[in-house]
Structure 1
Amino acid sequence: MQPYLAASTYIDFDHPDVAAQARRLADGAASRMDVVRRCFEFVRDEIRHSVDFMQNPVTCKASDVLRHRTGYCYAKSHLLAALLRANGVPAGLCYQRLSVGDTGGPYCLHGLNAVWLDDLGWFRIDARGNKPGVDAQFAPPVERLAFAIREPAERDLPEIWVEPLPCVVRVLETEPDVAAVLRNLPDAPLIG
């Protein structure tokens, strides 16, 4: 589990602002589950999804997401992983491959998290941010993710990553603004 508890370039809970926010969220929590819920709801509800608000700048590192209070789903998952890890809760990154539109291509990755819950094992949570048609919740043992898989070319990718995928980092670090990221969303084509 140690890798899922470590700070890194993008999951930088060793940054003073991220560490302080993690402490605030854990302060007075009744249980570890309560800490997870508080961290999840903070990122889901207090950090704006870049596309929903067309809000710049493009963020990638957890500390930048927290500072600017905005991020794509990927960046929000980096912040959630950082807050959880700072509180001693193993957390990883997960992805879904989804249609950009209602159906069919093009496709893109959607970023979310997996958290280790002692009674359940790895459990996926999605702090993307709710809006009409999206209602992600922290409701163990039931996963309540932002998006359901609706067609054969869409997938829940099974891996739980310690670090963000390079294709995600590349887009978030090279595109100049939110609109440019939206035009160049990362994808992981299916093999076989």
Structure 2
Amino acid sequence: MKQTVKQTAKHAVKTGPAGYACAAGVLLLAGLAGSLPATAADAGTGLELTATAVQKACDITLTPASAFPLGDLASGDLTDKGVARGQGAGGVTLKLSNCGLKDASTTPGVTLSGSHPAAGADKDYLFAGSSESGQAQGYWVVVTPLAGAATFNTTDFIGDGGAVWTGKKGESGAGAQVTLYPGVTCNDSCNTATPGPLSVPLTFTFAYK
């Protein structure tokens, strides 16, 4: 007896867990005569792919890069809560680069942090140096985004945890640039301040919020 076997291939496309298209093939065999032995179907082996997409933070570049010398400051320039800027009057430039992709739900920003006195009223805009013997005591560093004449106006200073720069929602922050102007003040301790070297570390942190 002559036997003819007809083969028909059907393909369906479905989407896997990670959004990739995969092809599932179905092969139908139809015999006009006779019968084919039954075989167990292969249930297949599944693979679920998982990952977490993280928005890359921008790189921060400071100019000058690591140290910002204010030079020698005369205590007489600091009376009546004055602020002296010395040779650092040109400011520190902060620039963002190598940022992540835009996200419509987040806002890019840079904040400032450092040590500050917490006795009495918390003056978070006064950044302190070392309290060791031989170091300047009663002098602090203040940071403002305003150029021009340096006056002691607390609303012009950036405090610990304060915003240095805030972008628009949905932006990546790439190319953003801001100039800050540090200065030295004796606040309300000008009559009792002790002169000496003053070194104050500040930290700038970028984040999407």
Superposition TM-score tier, normalisation by shorter sequence: under 0.3
Higher helix proportion (structure 1 or 2): 1
> Taking structure 1 as the reference length, what is the TM-score of the superposition?
0.24
Higher strand proportion (structure 1 or 2): 2
| Higher RCO structure (Cα 8 Å, ≥6 apart) | 2
- Considering only CA atoms, is the larger Rg found in Structure 1 or Structure 2? 2
